[in-house]
Amino acid sequence: MTNKIATQLKAVALLSGGLDSRLAVRLVQEQGIEVTALNYITPFCTCTAKSSCRLEAKKAAEEYGVKLKVFYVFEDFIEIIRNPKHGHGRGLNPCLDCRIMMFKNAKKYMDEIGASFLVTGEVLGERPMSQRPDAIGTIERESGLSGLIVRPLSAKLMEPSLPERQGLVDRSRFMDISGRSRKPQIKMAEKLGMNDYPCAAGGCLLTDKDFAARLKSLLEISPNPTRNDIMLLKVGRQRFMDDTRIVIGRDEKENFRIKTLARTGDILMEARDAVGPITLIRGEVTGDIVKKAAQLTIGYGKAKDEPSAIVSYFSVGDESAAKQIEIINS
């Protein structure tokens, strides 16, 4: 007598924590398929500590009883931002290459755990760069997942995937959503009794034109930035001069953040007698750069109305050797 043990069908799902990916997980899970969720975090996510994608994905995974694996992407992603095969979107967002990178990683994970297909919350036409039919085809092909991606939210508008054709999943229980309206998703969420989900999934700073310009300037002087370099890019006013960057705080909170992010060798400065910004210099420090940074420190502070002002500064790690420079306001 043979002893056959039925194994549950496994799938891997991309779970950002937003409504679309939550729905996709639920629609597949409902069919008795064991789902493992993957969450990708980049340093460009716009989420905050209080409301992070990771936190939302964790909440969703706990609620639906699925295992969650979180991947932090950085070095490979920076390389992709610098040289995307498929170009950038309206900012410095290499969406196609970014999705290919994530999907390739997901495929590796699928192979490791013996999952039969990948599930995503993609909606046809919702995102201009990566969710057009031709882009979807490119991403599938180049990630090695042709035919193996199930998109429960738009499945009925697309060619059936392999798992749908093989009857591993019931296509008739999927949806036919396209475009940017959220109404069908909200209706389906109500039907499935899902009432605790964030309004929208987190955004990506790379699509923001101002941030993209900052990042471009940073990559010109520092092609291999550290995480700290990127975090610093999100704070204050930024000036790039030759091989040096100057960061000027805009309020108390930013001043504090700049001090927290300062590394050994950075210069920190502030006006001696007035309330104003904390300024950080990172890179080559010349007399001209110190003078420029001091002028900016005064120019954005209350001392700008005085005939002259003193700026104190020191090199982080060598606080005892603090110096001063006088700025004459014209």
Q: Which of 206, 262, 293, 327 binds ligand SF4 (CB under 6 A)?
A: 206
Can you tell me which of 120, 154, 207, 244 binds ligand SF4, judged by CB under 6 A? 207
Q: Does residue 143 bind ligand SF4 (CB under 6 A)? A: no
Selected range binding ligand SF4 among 91-99, 232-240, 255-263, 269-277, rule: CB under 6 A? 91-99
130 touching ligand SF4, by CB under 6 A: yes
Q: How far is the CB of 78 from ligand SF4 (least distance, A)?
A: 12
Please pick, from the candidates 93, 154, 238, 279, the single residue that binds ligand SF4 as defined by CB under 6 A.
93
Among the listed residues 22, 26, 99, 107, the single contact to ligand SF4 using CB under 6 A = 99
Q: How far is the CB of 110 from ligand SF4 (least distance, A)?
A: 20
CB of 45 to ligand SF4, least distance (A): 7
Could you give the string, one character per residue 186-205, with x where binding to ligand SF4 holds by CB under 6 A and - elsewhere? Answer: ------------------x-
- The C-alpha atoms of residue 293 and residue 281 are separated, in whole angstroms, by 7
Q: Nearer Cβ to ligand SF4, position 55 or 204?
A: 204
Whole-number minimum distance, CB 206 to ligand SF4, in Å?
A: 5
State which residue, 61 or 206, has the beta carbon closest to ligand SF4.
Answer: 206
By the 10 Å C-beta count (0-12 exposed, 13-18 middle, 19+ buried), 4 is classed as exposed
CB-nearer residue toward ligand SF4: 98 or 267: 98
Q: How far is it, in rounded angstroms, from Cα 173 to Cα 28? A: 9
Give 81 or 289: the residue with its C-beta nearer to ligand SF4: 81
Strands 237-241 and 308-315: unpaired
Q: Toward ligand SF4, which CB reaches closer, 98 or 289?
A: 98
Among 27, 53, 95, 110, binds ligand SF4 (CB under 6 A): 95
* Cα–chain center distance at 312: 36
Span from 94-102, 104-112, 146-154, 295-303 in contact with ligand SF4 (CB under 6 A): 94-102
Nearer residue to ligand SF4 within complex by CB, 130 or 185: 130
Residue 41 vs 298, nearer CB to ligand SF4: 41
| 98 lies in the site for ligand SF4, by CB under 6 A | yes
Q: In angstroms, rounded to a whole number, what is the distance separating the alpha carbons of residues 19 and 224?
A: 34
CB of residue 143 vs ligand SF4: minimum separation in angstroms? 13
8 Å CB contact between 281 and 244: yes
Site for ligand SF4 in 29-48 (CB under 6 A): 42
Residues at the contact surface with ligand SF4, assessed by CB under 6 A: 42, 93-95, 98-99, 130, 204, 206-207
